[in-house]
Amino acid sequence: MTLSNERVAWFNGKFLPESQVLIPFRDRSWTGGDGCFDVTRTFNGRIFRLDEHITRLYRSLKYLRIDPGVSPAEMTRLSEEVFERNRHLLGPHEDYWVGQRISRGVDPCQDDHIDYHGPNVIVECRPIPYRQRARMFEDGIRIIVPSTRRTPPSSLTPRAKTHNYLNLIVASQEVSAIDPAAWAILLDINGNLCEGNGSNIFLVKDGQLFTPQERYVLPGISRGMVMDLAAKMGLGVREADLDLYDAYNAEEIFITSTSLCLCPAVSINGNKVGPEGQVWGPVATSLAKAYAEAVECDFVEQYLLHRENGGATRPF
């Protein structure tokens, strides 16, 4: 294979330049979000917990009753190949998101003039947007809780990673219209802290870790990673119903996500988290170090290297 400077993706059986991966406009994921996906990231040339992501992807598919026509093993292999084929396009200090997306395809009842009505399956990668997010690692995240509640499981499970994101988007717009740099964390239908767009939340209280119950959130792989690391470090970890009283009194709050790994919050609803001046509290710091060791990549430094104005002091 010859190297190009356009990334390639796998699309229904072929590797194509991304600009040729195009979707018929009657595909049910474009008209109805009728599809699902999963996404992991690389760390220094290795894909992070790909098996867990693929397992979760097939759970989403089972929930939606979509058969992608590709086995989990093949999907794993394709993900690795996509990464390999695009590796040379990574800049310095960069890593990829590596993702799989499956739509239900075009409904023959809506368009019987096209030939293919099966699922559209894509495996692709793209660089993590370090520059836009570097500031969060230096200054910490401002969390705002919007009024919109996370869709309840009795309407659509939050645990499948589907292509229906409007609940999270509408909620995030409430927040970003007021404070463009703030991060929205929604409450669930019962008024408990829930999750943000692609992100989980952790509180530290009395030196113990708390995070919302799996039933109401996407069980993030990074969330699981942090829970594992905490357990190894001897920290207590509990899934629990948490509310604003917990959040306002937390010693530390942080967010986990595939790309961010772990990033601290400095305020929630304008209420300062932890002691004045703290961005990285002791628990977040320890976990970030352990995380970096485990993935063999100092992701905090990686983000900071991409800051627009360069040269931040490393927070720890």
Judged by CB under 8 A, the chain residues 16 through 45 that form the site for a copy of itself are: 18-19, 21-35, 37
Q: Does 132 bind a copy of itself (CB under 8 A)?
A: yes
Say which residues have a Cβ less than 8 Å from residue 249's Cβ, sequence separation at least 6: 205
CA distance 78 to 129: 23
Site for a copy of itself, residues 277 to 316, rule: CB under 8 A: none
Q: Among the candidate windows 45-53, 155-163, 225-233, 284-292, which touches a copy of itself by CB under 8 A?
A: 155-163
Q: How far is the CB of 296 from a copy of itself (least distance, A)?
A: 26
Q: How far is the CB of 63 from a copy of itself (least distance, A)?
A: 5
Q: Does 13 bind a copy of itself (CB under 8 A)?
A: no
Q: Among the candidate windows 13-21, 43-51, 278-286, 294-302, which touches a copy of itself by CB under 8 A?
A: 13-21
Q: What tokens appear for 89 in the block?
A: 């396009």
CB closer to a copy of itself, 173 vs 285: 173
CA distance 294 to 292: 5
| Residues binding a copy of itself: number (CB under 8 A) | 86
Main-chain dihedrals φ then ψ at residue 148, nearest 5 degrees: -70, 135
CA dihedral 284, 289, 290, 296 (to 10 degrees): 140
Q: What are the CA-CA distances from residue 153 to residues 184, 190, 198, 199, 265 (Å)?
A: 20, 11, 17, 18, 27
Site for a copy of itself, residues 229 to 258, rule: CB under 8 A: 240-241, 243-245, 248-249
User: Among 179, 232, 296, 316, which residue sits at the site for a copy of itself (rule: CB under 8 A)?
Assistant: 179
Spatial CA neighbour of 46 closest among 96, 101, 99, 100: 96
CB closer to a copy of itself, 80 vs 241: 241
